[in-house]
Amino acid sequence: MQDFVWLIPLMPLISAIFLMVFSSKLPPTTVGFFGTGSVGMSALLTCNLTWGYLKDPDLFTVSLWTWMKVGELSANVGFHIDGLTIVMMMIITCVGFLIHLFSCEFMEHDKSYARYFAYLNMFVSAMLILVMSDNLLLLYLGWEGVGVCSYLLVGFWYQHSSNGRAARKAFIVTRIGDTAMMLGLLILFTELGTLDIQSLVSSAQVRWQTGDFMPTLACLLLLAGAAGKSAQFPLHTWLPDAMAGPTPVSALIHAATMVTAGVYLIARMHSLFIISPHAMMVIAVMGVGTALMAAFSALVQTDIKRILAYSTISQIGYMFLALGVGAWTAAVFHLMTHAFFKALLFLGSGAIIHCLHHEHDIFKMGGLWKRMPITFASFLIGSSALAALPFTSGFFSKDLILLSAYQLEEFGPILWAGGLLGALVTALYSFRLVFVVFFGRIQTLPNKENGWRIGLPLTILCVLSLVGGYFTLPLSNLFPMETNSHPATWVEVVSIATPLFGLLVAYILFIKIPSRIPKSLTSPQENTISRFLFSGWKLDEFYDRLLVSPYVRSTSILLDEPLDKLYNTIVLVNQKLHKWLSFSQSGRMRWYMVSVAIGFIILLGIAIAIPRGLSEW
Amino acid sequence: MQDLVVPLNHVLFVSTLLFTIGMLGLMIRRNIIFILMSLEVMLNASALAFIAAGAHWGQPDGQVIFLLILSVAAAEVAVGLGLVLQIQKRFNSLDMDDANRMRG
Amino acid sequence: MVIVTLIIILLIGGIIALLSEKLSEEAPRVTALLSILVSLIYLMLQIIKPDYITVITQSSLSDPASWLMHLKLEWIPAFGISIEFALDGLSLLMVALTLILGAVAVSASWTDIKKHQGFFEANVLWTLAGVIGVFTALDLFLFFLFWEVMLIPMYFIIAIWGHENRSYAAMKFFIFTQASGLLMLVSSIALAVIYKEVNGQYSFSYFDLINLPKGYLTEYLLMSGFFVAFVVKLPGFPFHTWLPDAHTQAPTAGSVILAGILLKTGAYGLIRFAVPLFPSAANDFAPMAMALGVFGIIYGAMTAFAQTDFKRLVAYSSVSHMGFILLGVYAWNELALQGVVIQMIAHGFSSAALFMIAGSLQERLHTRDMREMSGLWKFMPKMGASAMFFIIASLGLPGFGNFIGEVLILLGLYQVSSWMAVAASLGLITGAIYSLILMQKSFYGEPNAHRGETTMLHDFRKREMLTMYTMMGALVLLGIYPQPIMDVAQTTLIGLIDAVQLGLVK
């Protein structure tokens, strides 16, 4: 199996190229077959690999060819397989396969069916390369590759220029992070002389002391890259807009896989981050801050996908919190469960949108639970897992994160309290979503029942969201041992009770006394605070004023090439001189004679002066 | 090498004087005939200088050049007078400035 | 002799193309394409022998005979001027790039030249001949000769077959490059004179001049002469203003040759002459040059963003990319120089392809103004997909050649000057901004309402797609397996680096 591991990312890639080249000539069924089948094959191969790994867990590296070898830089196109990679690969291929299957039906009537699957396959391939690569340069290839696929898919319906803008915003904001990450790579390479992850990490541990400046700087730059990709404050503003893409894309890219690439990167480089406690602290604070910020924003959104987008930002904030407090396994665990339940929620919302004539506003939905039972079940399970109600998958992972945070010395309890507040708000907004959409009065009638290609992925993801918490991840050898002494009982009790309390509040607000729902939770333009939260804490406006407008204004100055003014001045001077000279060409014989005479006298004067002077000059 | 009856400097002075007169004529006069005459004067001035120098150093080159100048002057007058006739015919005047088509 | 034969094939091919105009409209294009292909095949047959890579790795600067090819004939012995051609890895890559992009250029202008086809193709071939001369001449006088020779046909291409503002653009192009070329001539003559002062006779040979001891001030002045000539051609900030005009006005083939090949002569000149001939001056000047490079990157990218003209935008993107090349050259270590070589080749392909797309758009829409485009993907998906491919490649996405170039330059640059690397990396962001706006304005968005007849637009045909696929393949190959190219260039680059080290020690 180890020899064929390169087939896993290659399969979707070949399918992508095939679909791209022959896009216009293929019937939709063939397109769906190739698009979904290639990912399915990858998933099967990955399962096989995982099976082998679980039986005999030893990590290995496969080098395909020398990518570049210049001076001391040597980068292979090679894959490194260990527990973390296996977990990521399983998530990508299996969830990816389900989402491809879902897309077959969801996108059935789109004219650019082949293009859609080509992009989606390309994304899976790039994401696999990202998690499998054995050096940072190849990782960067996957990293940028998923960024471009995200750009292409967000802007998939290119006729609407707002989609184009959202796609550009997504790409450029993440590109800012990517550039910081590139600088991080430059530092790491210059300081350590290699970009191979394993040797880099080991030589970093030898070379640097805990708390040195250089590793902190490098870690912070890598963190900036991770924050861009994983939509963490201050680079998170692209994610809500990225919901312009087709819903399965949001499920795959902007919930389950790509946005967790930052978490993967930090987990992958954890040995480097351990050297820098300051960077770890920054990660934890950033995580909690983002989790809270996004959760509050999610509370007032009205667009079903934007609620989920903010909740994704918020959940990844929890993963960052886990990374920041050194609970690596908890972070990856939450990554996995989140992939299940968030993909489920997004696909569920896709099913609703599919049946409700592309309606996104939750207040125009309502009473859907009877009409769409499967979707209702999936939303119920997904929201429970998101809110971390006991015994769902999200419960185990989030509980682990919160307890780990509590145990951190010094700031632990504060981080824990922040996380807890976030959990409360999470429960509130996730059940606000469920109650508003599925209960109450029917506002829009669903036009049809969804077929098996939508139903099956939803069912499987429901099961996974329920039982995902009982999986044991093969990560034990990878991360340093985490101290799992149990904190005081009241901490655990509070952690478990908070989401339930949130559920209760949501129930009271939206079911029991729906007439007294605070206005700020239904129409966010109502008051200042909700307007502020609705706009994502006004960050877009802030960036617009601070960066975008000055940039656009300064480029408009450059439009007419100010430098040409300089060259035009030279031209002007020449033209003036030309006028003067042509003026001297008067055509008067006597004037010429005079100038000849004067010139002669001057030359004579010079001829007399120079022989004396030249040797002295 | 024998001394001249007239000292070289004097001859050269006269030559310079003649040259200057010719030059001034060129600068001042507009009539094309006078311009031609001034040119002749200048040529003669240089010819005189050559003769004097040749006599001073007892070299024949001066006289050779004098002969050359003489023939060049003759040719020049021939061409020049031809031009004068043409200009008179075309412009109905002998004023040089009437023919300044080459103004830049 | 190979090089001379190559140049002669192209020159004669030009004459035949010129004459064949009378036969039919097709004949000149076919002649041109054939002569380029014949040259390419001839070059391959002569060079690509089983052991060519070993031969390349043996070429050393001190011994021209060890090069892949070396020819020295006396020309004007009194002034030490000779006909000296030599070919090493770097030159070989550049010559091959020239020929390949030459074929692309001919294919790009297959249909859009409506008058004097014969003279047009002749000019294309003569430009190529001049460029090959530039890449292989190692006598400074001969180099200057070819430097000027390639200008004149290019001037005609812009001035005769250009668009609405062609004579202004052609004149600007000519004056900028010509005037700066004269500075280089002065510097070369001065070098020959200095050589005479030391060794008693004139010489313009590169191999004689490379280790010439010079006074510091002289060295600095002479270096400026070369630097200006090459940076104008590159073009580097602030001498780039001829480029947008020339590109915008030139016909498609002209833009392809300009962007793909002519700009590379500037970069080649910097690597081959401007730095190694004047090691200590170049060393001291490096911060200035790098600052110009950074300015160029940011300035080009920002100006590109503001443009409304498709071709002008792409032209400014070239300015931005060439900033990276300037940075890489003056970082002067193996990483950065390899990056420069890859960047030169990759930029040749990606910008040539973008200009081809611009040309095809103009041919179909009769405008280059992006405000008139919008939503073209709907009508021309193949062209849209190709444009997307090359835009993404040129913004430096990993997996394509441009990324390898940029990342190697940045890696090399960081070792020399970390702040410059930080500033240059801003170009990665600004590059993304203008690239994506290009895509948005032309191919994305709602189709223009008043363009009712757009349904008549025909997509890329087979011939065009074939050219596109070729270039896509080249870029991807360069992106995922650049090692063979690097192996070819390596010996030359290391040799030059060592020579400069030696010069600095002295």
Which candidate from A145, A186, A554 shows the least CB-CB separation from C411? A186
What does each C-alpha distance from C165 to A581, B56, C169, C170 come to in angstroms?
Answer: 29, 70, 7, 9
Please tell me the distance from the alpha carbon of residue C251 to that of residue C431, in angstroms, as a whole number.
25
Q: Counting Cβ atoms within 10 Å, is residue B93 exposed (0-12), middle (13-18) or buried (19+)?
A: middle
Take residue A490 and report the two structure tokens written for it. Answer: 């009241």
What is the C-alpha separation between C155 and C159, in angstroms, rounded? 6
Give alpha helix (H) positions in chain B. Answer: 8-28, 32-57, 61-91
- The reply to whether residue C388 touches residue A155, judged by beta carbons under 8 angstroms, is no
* CA distance to partner chain C, nearest, from residue A256 (Å): 23
* pLDDT at res. A521: 65
Q: How distant is the Cα of B102 from the closest Cα of chain A, in angstroms?
A: 5
d(CA C5, CA C133) in angstroms, rounded, equals: 11
Specify the range with the lowest mean pLDDT, choosing from A477-491, B62-76, C207-221, C474-488: A477-491
From the list C303, C333, C444, the residue facing A558 with the nearest CB is C303
- In one-letter notation, the amino acid at residue A245 is G
Mutate which of A10, A66, A68, A133 to disrupt the C interface (most C C-beta within 10 Å)?
A: A68
Q: Are B102 and A590 a contacting pair at CB < 8 A? A: no
Give the pLDDT score at A486.
Answer: 67
Judged by CB atoms closer than 8 Å, whether chains meet at B103 and A586 is answered as yes
8 Å CB contact of A67 and C302: no
CB contact under 8 A, A563 and C428: no
Closest partner CB to C305 (pick from A68, A555, A561): A555
Torsion-angle region of residue A352: left (phi > 0), alpha (psi -120 to 50) or beta? alpha
Residue C164, pLDDT above cutoff 60: yes
Task: Inspect the interface and report whether the beta carbons of B104 and A593 lie closer than 8 Å.
Answer: no
User: According to the model, what pLDDT value does residue B67 have?
Assistant: 93
Span A300-312, mean pLDDT? 88
Mean pLDDT of C67-82: 87
* Position with higher pLDDT, A59 vs C464: C464
pLDDT value for B5: 73
List the single residue in B with minimal CA-CA distance to A585: B104
The tokens for A15 are 């399918």
* Closest-approach residue (CA) in chain A for C444: A158
Tokens of C350: 């990606």
**For A105-114, A164-173, C182-191, which range has the lowest pLDDT when averaged over its residues?**
A105-114
Taking CB atoms and an 8 Å cutoff, what residues of chain C touch A176? 429
A574 CB within 8 Å of a chain C CB:
no
Q: Tell me which residue of A91, A90, A98 sits closest to A47, measured CA to CA.
A: A90
Q: What angle do CA C158, C160, C163 make, to 5 degrees?
A: 65
In this complex, the residue of A582, A583, A589 whose CB is nearest that of residue B35 is: A589
**Cα(C255)–Cα(A349) distance, integer angstroms:** 50
pLDDT of A261 over the 50 cut: yes
Residue type, C361: L
Given a cut of 50, whether residue B104 has pLDDT beyond it is no
CA distance B98 to chain A (A): 9
Inform me whether the pLDDT recorded for A291 exceeds 60: yes
pLDDT at residue C322, as a whole number: 92
Closest chain B residue to the Cα of A592, Cα to Cα? B27
Å between A156 CA and nearest CA of chain C: 10
Taking every pair of Cα atoms in chain C, the longest distance, rounded to a whole number of angstroms, is: 75
Q: Do C482 and A67 touch (CB under 8 A)?
A: yes
Confidence at residue C141, expressed as pLDDT on a 0 to 100 scale: 92
CA dist., res. A283 & res. A297, Å (int): 21
Q: Would the CB atoms of A155 and C444 count as touching at under 8 Å?
A: yes
**What is the structure's pLDDT at C147?**
92
C393 interfacial to chain A (CB closer than 8 Å)? no
Touch criterion met for C and B (3+ Cβ pairs within 8 Å): no
Q: Which of B26, B35, B101 sits opposite A587 (nearest CB)?
A: B101
**Residue C157 in contact with residue C252, Cβ under 8 Å?**
no
SS3 A80: strand
- CA-derived radius of gyration, chain B: 17
- Computed over every residue of chain C, the mean pLDDT equals 88
Q: Which chains touch C (3 or more CB pairs under 8 A)?
A: A
Tell me the C-alpha distance between A206 and A218, whole Å.
16
pLDDT at C454: 53
Can you give the pLDDT at residue B44? Answer: 92
Under 8 Å between Cβ of A87 and A476: no
- The residues with which A420 forms a beta bridge, in sequence order, are none
Q: Are B23 and A595 in contact (CB under 8 A)?
A: no
Q: How far apart, in whole angstroms, are the C-alpha atoms of residue A440 and residue A517?
A: 13
- Determine whether the interchain pair A590/B30 forms a contact, defined as Cβ–Cβ distance below 8 Å: yes
Contact C267, C329 (CB under 8 A): yes
Q: Which residues of A touch C429 (CB under 8 A)?
A: 172, 175-176, 179
Nearest chain A residue to C413, by CA:
A186
The pLDDT value given to residue A617: 44
In the predicted structure, residue A32 carries a pLDDT above the cut 80: yes
pLDDT the model gives residue B3: 59
Mean pLDDT across A412-416 = 85
- Report chain A residues whose CB lies below 8 A from the CB of B104: 581-587
Q: Is B90 on the interface with A (CB under 8 A)?
A: no
Read off the pLDDT of residues A85-101 as tens digits, 9 standing for 90 and up.
888 999 999 999 999 98
The reported pLDDT for the residue numbered C350 is: 92
Q: Which two tokens stand for residue C222?
A: 């002479």
Q: What is the mean pLDDT of residues A360-388?
A: 82
Question: For residue C324, what pLDDT is reported?
Answer: 92
Interface of C with A in 324-363 (CB under 8 A): 333-335, 338
Q: Compare A108 and A292 and report the one with higher pLDDT.
A: A292
Query: Taking residues C363-388, what's their average pLDDT?
Result: 83
Cβ atoms of A118 and A16 within 8 Å: the answer is: yes
What is the distance between the alpha carbons of residues A231 and A109, in angstroms, rounded to a whole number?
31
Minimal-distance CA residue of chain B relative to A579: B104
Mutation for testing the A interface, residue in B39, B100, B101 having most A CBs under 10 Å: B100
Residues of chain C neighbouring A554 (CB-CB closer than 8 A): 302
C447 has pLDDT over 70: yes
The pTM assigned to this predicted structure is 0.87
A 210-229 near C (Cβ less than 8 A): none
Across chain A, mean pLDDT equals 85
Give A608→chain B minimum CA distance, Å.
Answer: 18
* Residue in A23, A68, A551 closest to C486 by CB: A68
pLDDT range class, residue C390, cuts 50, 70, 90:
very high
Average pLDDT estimate for A158-167: 85
Residues C311 and C255 sit within 8 Å (Cβ to Cβ): yes
Q: For chain A, say whether C126 makes contact (Cβ under 8 Å).
A: no
Write down the mean pLDDT value for chain B: 86
* Residue to substitute from B19, B24, B27, B34, interface A, most A β-carbons within 10 A: B27
ipTM of the complex: 0.90
Does A158 reach chain C within 8 Å, measured CB to CB? Answer: yes
**Are residues A588 and B100, on separate chains, in Cβ contact within 8 Å?**
yes
Mean pLDDT of A269-289: 89
User: Is A161 within 8 Å of C446 when comparing Cβ atoms?
Assistant: yes
The string of pLDDT tens digits covering residues C272-321 is 998 888 888 888 999 999 999 999 999 999 999 988 888 999 999 999 99
- Do residues A120 and A97 make contact, with C-beta atoms less than 8 angstroms apart? no
The number of beta carbons lying within 10 Å of the beta carbon of residue C201 is 13
pLDDT band at residue A614 under the 50/70/90 scheme: very low
Shortest Cα–Cα distance, B91 to chain A (Å): 16
Residue the block writes with tokens 């312009």: A244
Among candidates B23, B35, B97 on the partner chain, residue whose Cβ is nearest the Cβ of A597 = B23
Q: In chain A, which residues have their Cβ closer than 8 Å to the Cβ of B30? A: 590
Do B27 and A590 lie within an 8 Å CB cutoff? yes
